[in-house]
Chains A and B, each alone.
Chain A
């Protein structure tokens, strides 16, 4: 459904994304992962037709986003990280406006459907300026799906939301995926990806560093170990062991990437620092950290 081939975007000498290629089959939900500034938004805006690429091409449903932008945009819904809303409009007026722009034939029905899908009934008559951040985010999502698009591009849909709202939005995305809708979802919150997405594409510093099924990707980090120690100094000591390629600190845990199977040696080396917890099973998060933070350590 979405084909991206060799997409490159340069701003002067700075390269925002470099030779990015991936494809998303119809009906799949893909998580687009990467740290802030990795090029997620740039890639998504190019697919949505609000930014041009310096090189490469993107097609949606077989239509080139540059040659036939209107055809692409009529089947695509894009929710940017900052909701593209007019604060001085009411929620229902804004969604009706978005529906007209997107060429919907029955505007009142489409507006009502989007309002109820996003749980905006209570605030439909309120000015968007007066809504909480969570509701504004939902209005931003509502405009993306008001025309019932086949493809949804969601850029950090849960950013700035509280944990309860995150869960709501996540459930909503799962509902949206019902049927054969194709969804690309960008985030740097990994917990969001595992329950929703079948596949992930990881981008770092403008380049794709991995793309695979979630299960396969977790398995790929076979030589990853996650451990917690009581005393400081373990990172340096473990990092110095032969065979260790990286040590990353994350939320009080050390994520160690090794070239070979060396769980026993790592455990032994960690004991003097007061080993509290040790897990040899790689999680998606660990793979992600290892892939996106390797260079930072080097």
Chain B
């Protein structure tokens, strides 16, 4: 257990001992702030229009018109940010040979993979926290449905964790961080856009399968403030699957 947390802590602190962690955090802060301001501007424009249009006024609410689009934009941003954060997790250890310390210590591959995943999870919490000023402004000066806000945060956190764990797995496949980055980015985008295919396609087994696979459909479902077990299970099992796959890969590194 100590080893698990020691690995997690080292990974988490590693983000701040490295420019990549700071740059990603800063980029995400700037982009999330930009989207927030843009969404507020759009929302206030709608609000001004709705003064003249009673039917529009009855439909306009801060949850659908501001929170949901903002979190959607944050999710897309994270799709691009997380590969840069996860690429080094194991690839760098392999390149620098520091992996030998882990492989020759009495620590199981599962603990190594889970420790790395937890370190990434702790950084995912940081990414959530950096958007907190936006949420604070909403709560302070708007009248949002707290449930919708919290559900969106939960969905965004689980998505970030899932993407980073997927990146962790790709990072274990190669010594090259660039290769790990491209694999994570490519797969992340693919899992995103299959959602569009699902929306466009005809009803059928394929559509159902694609819909289940698509990140976007699970996020949309949660984004509207509806907390369904199947969506949480999907995102959590995404993380669990890639943590397990990483553990298998680390075990293979030991015996290959």
Complex Cα distance, B256 from A101, in Å, reads 22
Query: In the bound complex, do residue B255 and residue A52 qualify as a contact, i.e. CB atoms below 8 Å apart?
Result: yes
Q: Which residue of A lies closest to B7 (CB)?
A: A101
Candidates B10, B100, B106, B254; contact of A97 at CB < 8 Å: B10
Which chain A residues border B103 with CB–CB below 8 Å?
49-50
Question: What size tier do the contact residues of chain B reach?
Answer: 20 to 34
Which chain A residues border B104 with CB–CB below 8 Å?
48-50, 73, 76, 78, 84
Question: What size tier do the contact residues of chain A reach?
Answer: 20 to 34
Which chain A residues border B105 with CB–CB below 8 Å?
73, 98, 101-102
Which chain A residues border B58 with CB–CB below 8 Å?
none
Given contacts A88-B14, A97-B10, A101-B3, contact A50 B107 (CB under 8 A): no
Query: In the bound complex, do residue A78 and residue B100 qualify as a contact, i.e. CB atoms below 8 Å apart?
Result: yes
A103 at the interface (CB under 8 A from B): yes
Query: In the bound complex, do residue B106 and residue A74 qualify as a contact, i.e. CB atoms below 8 Å apart?
Result: yes
Name the interface residues of B1-49: CB closer than 8 Å to any CB of A. Answer: 2-3, 6-7, 10, 14, 17-18
B179 at the interface (CB under 8 A from A): no
B55 at the interface (CB under 8 A from A): no
Q: Which residue of B lies closest to A74 (CB)?
A: B106
Contact digits for A67-105, partner B, Cβ 8 Å, 1 yes 0 no: 001110110101010111111110000000110111100
Q: Which residue of A lies closest to B17 (CB)?
A: A88
Complex Cα distance, B101 from A102, in Å, reads 9
In the assembled complex, how far is the CB of residue B90 from the closest CB belonging to chain A, in whole angstroms?
13
Query: In the bound complex, do residue B108 and residue A101 qualify as a contact, i.e. CB atoms below 8 Å apart?
Result: no
> Which B residues are closer than 8 A to A by beta carbons?
2-3, 6-7, 10, 14, 17-18, 96-108, 254-256
- List, sorted by A's number, 16 A–B pairs whose CB atoms are closer than 8 Å: A49-B103, A50-B254, A51-B255, A51-B256, A52-B254, A70-B106, A73-B105, A82-B100, A84-B98, A87-B96, A89-B17, A97-B10, A98-B101, A100-B2, A102-B106, A143-B101
> Which A residues are closer than 8 A to B by beta carbons?
48-52, 66, 69-71, 73-74, 76, 78, 80, 82-89, 97-98, 100-103, 143
